[in-house]
Every structure is written in C-alpha cells, then in structure tokens.
Amino acid sequence: THIAYIPIIEACMDLVPVGEGERGSLTTGVRWTVRPRPESDGRYGRLEAIDLATGETAWISRQRAPQTTAALATAGGLVFAGSLDRRISAYDAATGDRLWATRLTEVPHAPPITYAVDGRQYVAVIVGSGGYLTRAYSVLAPEIRNPPDRAAALFVFALPETDAAGSNAP
C-alpha cells in the first residue's frame, strides 16, 4: 500500500537534568514530566497514515487514550494498535475508521504480530503493566483507571475467514 501507519502520543515532556547523586527517569540522567500540549483538545492518542510516495497524510484517527504499541498493517486491509485504556483496536487501512476494539486485562505495550495456521490468520499482542511509561502517561487522562500491575498475558484473536475474493464468508 506504500502507507506508513504511525502511532503518536500528542503530549509534551519536560526534561530536567538531575543533580549529582540524584536518580533520573529510568537511566536517562534527566527527570521527565509528561503534560498536555498547550493547544490540546484532550485527545492524546493519534494513529496517522502517511502515503510514502507523496509524503501526504492519508488519514488520522484520534482518541483520548495515548497510543502504547506500534501499528501492525495486514494484507487484508486492517491496522491494529493498542492504547493506554487497555484496548487493542482494528482500523480500516484505507479510511482510518475504527472497525473493532476490545478491552484487555492490562495495557498492551508489545507490537501486535500476525501469523497464520492452516490458512487462518491470527493477531496476537502481549500485555503487561509497561512500568514507568504507563504511569507517566496516565497523568494525561486520569479517568482511565488501569488495574494494579497484573501478570503479563498473551491475547490471540482469529480474524474472520474470507472467501477467494477476499470478502467475509457468510
């Protein structure tokens, strides 16, 4: 398709060097604080499709919850991405319309993957607390209540079967 699907978090991050002997965020040597952009409308998650031939934006899909995973595009015209509200969502690759979403037990952080077994396509994603970044970005949407850190889990979803023409079988 020559389209790049890019998950974006629309927020700012203030970076302040830490003093001698102080601990920074992770091992960066700085302390960071996440905050909304000055012109924010409160939607922090953005999935943007860029046409690689022209450099133009093909579509943008925005939501309140920040994105937390890479995007996965399938040959069947779907794009999958995860977000801070513990959702994995499927988007129409041509339009950016959200076609499906489900809430998981924890925040998805690993990139979704796809594979096939006996001709049936599956999408899988690993979830887990994500640690510091999950907590850091939670300040953007405090109403998104995530459970206390739970064990990591693997979720696997079967895609609908299609006929030879590529349409959903009845």
Q: How many domains does the chain have?
A: 1
Q: Which residues pair with 51 in a beta bridge?
A: 3
**Amino acid in position 96:** G
Summarised one tens digit per residue, pLDDT across range 19-57 is: 888 888 777 888 888 999 999 999 999 999 999 999 999
Rounded CA-CA distance 12/120 in Å is 41
Residues 6+ apart with CB under 8 A from 7: 45, 46, 47, 67, 68, 69, 70, 71, 81
Please indicate, yes or no, if residue 132 is contained in any of the structural domains: yes
Q: Which of 48, 88, 94 is nearest to 65 (CA)?
A: 88
Residue percentage of the chain with pLDDT more than 70? 89
Residue 120 belongs to some domain of the structure: yes
CATH assignment at residue 127: 2.40.10.480
- Is 167 domain-assigned? no
Cβ atoms of residues 30 and 13 within 8 Å = no
Query: Considering the domain boundaries, does residue 141 fall inside one?
Result: yes
pLDDT in tens, 82-114: 999 999 999 999 999 999 999 999 899 889 999
Could you tell me the residue range of the domain that residue 69 belongs to? 3-158
In a domain, 170, yes or no: no
Residue 165: pLDDT over 50: no
Quick one: tokens of 155?
A: 């979720």
Q: Are 96 and 46 in contact (CB under 8 A)?
A: no
The reply to whether 164 falls in a domain is: no
In a domain, 163, yes or no: no
Query: Which structure tokens are listed for 158?
Result: 């079967």
* Within-domain flag for 27: yes
